[in-house]
Amino acid sequence: MKHSTRMWTGMIALAATTVFALSACSPSGTQTPEASDSAGGLTPVTLQLQWFAQAQFSGYYAALDQGYFADEGLDVTIVEGGVDIVPQTVLADQQADFAVAWVPKALASIEQGAGITDIGQIYQRSGTLQVSFADQGITTAADLTDKNVGNWGFGNEFELFAGMTKAGLDPATDVTLVQQQFDMSALLAGDIDAAQAMTYNEYAQVLETVNPATGELYQPSDFTVINWNDEGTAMLQDAVWANTERLASDTEYQDTAVKFLKAVIKGFVFARDNPQDAASIVVAAGSQLGASHQLWQTNEVNKLIWPSPDGIGIIDTGAWDQTVAVAKTAKNLEGSTVITTDPPDTAYTNDWVQKALDELIAEGIDVTGTSFAPIEVTLNEGGN
Amino acid sequence: MMRLWRRLGLGALSIVLLALLWEAYKAVGPAGGVDMAGLQLLPRTTDLAMPHIADMVIRALEPVNSSAGSAPVWIAVLLAGVSSLGTASVGLLIGSVIGVLLALLMQRFRLAESAVLPWLVLSQTVPLIALAPLIVSWGGRVQIGAFEWERWMSVAVIAAYLAFFPMAVGALRGLQSPDAIHTELMRSYAAGWWKSLLYLRLPASVPFLLPALRLGAASAIIGTVVAEVSTGAKGGIGRLIIEYAQSGSSDPAKAYAPIAVAVVMGLIAAGVVAALGLLLPRYRRNEISA
C-alpha cells in the first residue's frame, strides 16, 4: 500500500508541524485572575481597568507594588482593559469584583440594567480638555463657532456637547464635528481646530512633538485649552465601582470593599507623595509609554485628585448632580443623551469610602492633600 | 535551489522598490497631500504622516522608552510577534480541525451540507469587534478545576473562528472533487465510506486543502491581531500596535515596527504552508491556485 504510507507520512508531517506550532506558543504576560488561589489566607480580588497599564491607574499599581492590598488581607489581580472591554459589564457579570470606569459611561450602563455602584470617586475633577493652537483664539466654548471640532465619540463627547450647548451653539450646525483618532496628528496637521485631549495623555503628546517651525518641542504657550471644569459642564471620571447586589447583601464583600478602598487610597497617597516612584511602578507593570510621559501623567492625575477637601474618594453631591444633569440633557449629534431618567439611589454611596477614610485618618494618613503641590515635569521628545 | 534564491531575491527587491517608492513620493509629493473636493486622494508627506524609512529603522533599534532596562523596539516587537504567532497557530489548528470535521460531515450527509453551509457563510458576516468582547466574557466564566481561561485563549478562539471557514469550504470542495468514475470504481470494490475517504477523497483533497490552509493561516493571523487590539490581550503584536500608535503624533516612526512584524508573521505563515506543500508533492498533481 504505497499510496497510504505516503499519505500517512503527510499526515504525520502535518501533525508534527502543528505540534511544533503549539509548542512555540507561550504567550507571555497572561492576565487572567487567579481567582481560585487564596495565597496565605488572602481574599482574592479582581480589579478591571478601562485601559492598559498607565499612570492613570498609578494608585492601583502603587497599592499592589507597595503591598497595601496585602496589608489589608487582599490578593488583588489587576486586569487591564482593551479597545472593546467595558469594565462596567465585566463587573455586572461578576467577572471582576471591582472596576474602574467613568461616571457617565457607568450611568449609561446602569440605565441599561447593570447593577453597579460608585463606591469611591477617586478623580475629583474631569481631565478632558479641548486643545487648539493659540492663533485660533479658541479659549471658551463659544469660540468653537464654525471651527472643526474633534471628538472621540463613544460616550466621550458629552462634556463637549454640553459645553457648546451651554454657550448657545447648536453642535449640529454651528460647528463642524470631526471624528478624532486617539493620537493628536489631526490637530497638528490642521485637520482639526480644537481637539479633545486628556490633560494626562493627549495634551502631553502634543507637548512631546517637535514643532517643525522652531525645531524644538511645542510649548504650552503654543496652545489654548478649554477646560470643562471651568465651563461648568465637567463630568466625573475615574471611580471605583462595585457590584450593587453583592454590596447590599454580602457582608464579606462589604468588608472587602472597605479594605480595597483603603489600600487604593493609600496607593494614590503614595503616588501623590512619590510621583517619580509611582511612574516607575507603572512602567514596571508593562506600560509602553515613555518615562517622561508617564511622570507627566502621574502628576496630572494627582492634580485631578488632590486636593480633595472632603477626602479622596468621597462623591461630592454637587459634582455628581452636575454629571447627572449633563448626562440627562446634553444631546450628541444623534440627538441622544447619556441617560433618560435619574439614576437609582444605588448608583453611588459614600458609606464604604467614608469608613475607609475614617480608618485611614485614624492611622494618621493625609487623605485630603490640602498642601499638595504638583511637581514640574519636563517632557522629552516622544515622551521618552 | 537556484529558483528559491531567485524568488527570495525578487521578494527582497520588491521590498526595496516599495521603500524607494515611499521615499520618492515623500520627496516630491506636496506636504499637504493631494485632495480633491475635500477628499484626500494622496497622503501628506510630512514627517508626521510619512516618516523616513531610515527613521523607522533607527527607531526600531533604539530602546522602547528611556526607563532603565528597556529593550530595543525591534526585540520587543519580535517577541510580541512570536507570541501572536503562537496564538494564531493554536487558532489555526482548532479552526482546521473544526473546518475539516464540518467538511466531512457535509460530504457524508447531503442534508448536512444544505443545512450547515449557509450558516458557515453567515458566521463570517458577524463583525469581529462585536464578537471579541462576547468571547472574552464567555471565556471569563470557564473554570474547570485548576484550568483557568486566559485571555490569549479568547484570542485563539477568535482566530479559529476566522480560520475554520476557508478550511471547511476548501476541504468540502476537495472531498467532493473525485470524478464519478473514481467513486464508482471504489463502489465496485465494495469499499465503504471510510475506505473511499481514506484512499480516494482525502488524497484527492490535498490540492484543495493547501490553498485553503494558506487562506486559513492568513485569516488566523488577522483574527489574532484584531482580537488582540480588541481585547487588549497582553504580550501580542496587536496590543503593541495600539500602544505605539498612541504616541503616533510624538513618535511617529515607532508605530511602524509592529506593523512590519505583523507583515513578517503573515510571510512566515505562508512559508510554513508552502513548506508543508513540499512534503506532499505526490498529491499536488493538479493543484488549483488559491
Q: pLDDT by residue (tens digit) across A340-361?
A: 999 999 999 999 999 999 999 9
Contacts of A10 in chain B (CB under 8 A): 206, 279-280, 282-283
- Which of A152, A184, A149, A185 has the alpha carbon at shortest distance from A165? A149
B133 contacts chain A (CB < 8 A): yes
Interchain proximity A183–B249, CB inside 8 Å: yes
Cβ separation of A35 and B143 shorter than 8 Å? yes
| pLDDT computed for residue B11 by the predictor | 84
> Confidence band (pLDDT; 50, 70, 90) for A23?
very low
Q: Which of A51, A189, A384 sits opposite B66 (nearest CB)?
A: A384
CB atoms within 10 A of CB A62: 28
What would the DSSP string read from start to end of B221-242?
A: HHHHHHHHHHH--TTSHHHHHH
CB contact under 8 A, B243 and A52: yes
Closest CA to A50 of A73, A19, A79: A79
ipTM of the complex: 0.77
Total Cβ atoms within 10 A of residue B212: 28
Sequence-separated (6 or more) residues with CB below 8 Å from residue A154: none
Closest CA to A319 of A333, A337, A305, A299: A305
**Closest-CA distance of chain B to residue A197, Å:** 12
Yes or no: say if A28 and B83 are a contact pair by the CB < 8 Å rule.
yes
* For residue A278, pLDDT beyond 70: yes
In chain A, which residue's Cα lies nearest the Cα of B145? Answer: A36
Residues 6+ apart with CB under 8 A from A79: A31, A32, A33, A46, A47, A48, A49, A90, A96
- pLDDT at residue A11 greater than cutoff 80: no
At residue A132, does pLDDT exceed 90? yes
Cβ contact A183–B231 (<8 Å): no
Residues B244 and A183 sit within 8 Å (Cβ to Cβ): no
Q: Please determine whether the domains at A41-125+235-383 and A128-231 fall in the same fold group of CATH.
A: yes
Q: Which of A116, A141, A120 is nearest to A59 (CA)?
A: A120
Chain B residue at shortest CA distance from A50:
B232
* d(CA B33, nearest CA chain A) in Å: 11
User: How much is the pLDDT for B284?
Assistant: 65
Which three cell numbers mark B163? 480560520
Across the interface, whether the CB atoms of A382 and B250 are under 8 A apart is answered yes
**A41-125+235-383 — its CATH code?**
3.40.190.10
Q: What is the mean pLDDT of residues A277-302?
A: 90
pLDDT in tens, chain B (290 residues): 677 788 888 888 988 999 899 999 888 888 877 777 667 778 888 888 888 988 898 888 888 876 667 788 899 899 999 999 999 999 999 999 999 999 999 999 989 888 988 998 888 888 877 788 788 778 777 777 777 788 888 899 999 999 999 999 999 999 999 999 999 999 999 998 999 999 999 999 988 999 999 999 999 999 999 888 888 888 889 988 888 888 777 788 888 999 999 989 988 998 898 888 888 877 765 555 44
Band the pLDDT of A32: cuts 50, 70, 90. very low
CATH of A128-231, one of 1.10.1040.10, 3.40.190.10, 3.30.950.10, 2.30.30.90: 3.40.190.10
Q: Which of A1-10, A283-292, A366-375, B189-198 has the lowest mean pLDDT?
A: A1-10
> Is pLDDT larger for residue A335 or for residue B268?
B268
- HSE toward the beta carbon, residue A279, CA cutoff 13 A: 26
The set of residues, in sequence order, having a beta carbon less than 8 Å from that of A317 and lying 6+ positions away, is none
Chain A hits for B152, Cβ within 8 Å? 27, 30
B172-202 pLDDT per residue, tens: 999 999 999 999 999 999 998 999 999 999 9
Inspect the interface and report whether the beta carbons of A21 and B92 lie closer than 8 Å: yes
Domains of chain B (ranges plus CATH)?
A: 73-283 (1.10.3720.10)
Given a cut of 70, whether residue A279 has pLDDT beyond it is yes
Cα–Cα distance, A366 to A351 (Å, whole number): 19
A183 touches B247 (CB < 8 A): yes
The predicted model gives A243-250 an average pLDDT of 94
Q: How far apart are CA A180 and CA B246, in angstroms?
A: 13
Q: Give the angle B38-A213-A296 at the CA atoms, nearest 5°.
A: 95
Average pLDDT, chain A: 87
Chain A residues close to B136, C-beta within 8 Å: 85
Of B18, B67, B53, B88, the closest CA to residue B256 belongs to B53
**What's the confidence (pLDDT) of residue A359?**
96
The residue type found at A24 is: A
* CA distance linking residue A115 with residue B146, whole number of Å: 30
How far apart (Å, rounded) are the C-alpha atoms in residues A97 and A87? 11
Cβ A28–B230 below 8 Å, yes or no?
A: no
A-proximal residues of B, 136-195, CB under 8 Å: 136-137, 140-141, 143, 146, 148-152
Q: Tell me which residue in B86, B143, B246 faces A25 most closely, judged by beta carbons.
A: B86
Q: Say if the Cβ atoms of A13 and B276 lie within 8 Å.
A: yes
The answer to whether the CB atoms of A89 and B148 lie below 8 A apart is: no
Residue A283: pLDDT band with limits 50, 70, 90:
confident
* Contact residues for A203 (Cβ-Cβ < 8 A; gap 6+): A129, A131, A197, A225, A300
A95–B137 C-beta distance less than 8 A = yes
pLDDT (tens digit, 9 = 90+) per residue, A51-67? 989 999 999 999 999 99
Instruction: Give me the amino acid identity at B114.
Output: S
Domain ranges for chain A, please list them: 41-125+235-383, 128-231
Decide if B39 touches A, using CB distance below 8 A.
no
User: What pTM does this model have?
Assistant: 0.83
Q: Average the pLDDT over A374-380 and give the result.
A: 91
* A165–chain B nearest CA distance, Å: 27
Asked whether the beta carbons of residue A10 and residue B152 sit closer than 8 angstroms, the reply is: no
| Partner residues linked to A174 by β-bridges | none
Cβ neighbours of A204 (radius 10 Å): 28
3-class SS string, chain A:
CHHHHHHHHHHHHHHHHHHHHHHCCCCCCCCCCCCCCCHHHCEEEEEECCCCCCHHHHHHHHHHHCCHHHHCCEEEEEECCCCCCCHHHHHHCCCCCEEEECHHHHHHHHHCCCCEEEEEECCCCCCEEEEEEHHHCCCCHHHHCCCEEEECCCCCCHHHHHHHHHCCCCCCCCCEEEECCCCCHHHHHCCCCEEEEECCCHHHHHHCCECCCCCCECCHHHEEEEEHHHHCCCCCCCEEEEEHHHHHHCHHHHHHHHHHHHHHHHHHHHHHHCHHHHHHHHHHCCCCCCHHHHHHHHHHHHHHHCCCCCCCECCCHHHHHHHHHHHHHCCCCCCCCCCCCCCCHHHECCHHHHHHHHHHHHCCCCCCCCCCCCCCCCCCHHHC
Mutation site for B-interface testing, chosen from A288, A298, A379, A380 by largest number of B Cβ within 10 Å: A288
Give the whole-angstrom CA distance, residue A271 versus residue A236. 20
Where residue A9 falls among pLDDT bands split at 50, 70, 90?
A: low
Is A82–B149 a contact, with Cβ atoms under 8 angstroms apart? Answer: no
How many angstroms away from the CA of A317 is the closest CA of chain B? 34
Check: CB of residue A320 under 8 Å from CB of residue A235: no
B29 touches chain A (CB under 8 A): no
For residue B23, report the phi and psi dihedrals to the nearest 5 degrees: -65, -35
Question: Which of B197, B202, B250, B280 would you mutate first to test chain A, the one with the most A CBs within 10 A?
Answer: B250
- B-chain CB neighbours of A13 within 8 Å are 276, 279-280
pLDDT greater than 60 at residue A8: no
Nearest CA-CA distance, residue B253 and chain A, Å:
10
What's the CA gap between B285 and B203, in Å, rounded? 11
Q: How many CB atoms lie within 10 A of CB A116?
A: 26
Task: Report how far residue A177's alpha carbon sits from residue A115's, in angstroms, rounded to the nearest whole number.
Answer: 34
- Label residue A366 exposed, middle or buried (CB < 10 Å: 0-12, 13-18, 19+): middle
How far is A268 from A120, CA to CA, in rounded Å? 12
Closest Cα of chain A to B250: distance in Å? 4
As a residue count, chain A comes to 384
Q: What is the DSSP letter of B288?
A: P
B235 contact A CB<8A: yes
Question: Are the C-beta atoms of residues A279 and A55 closer than 8 Å to each other?
Answer: yes
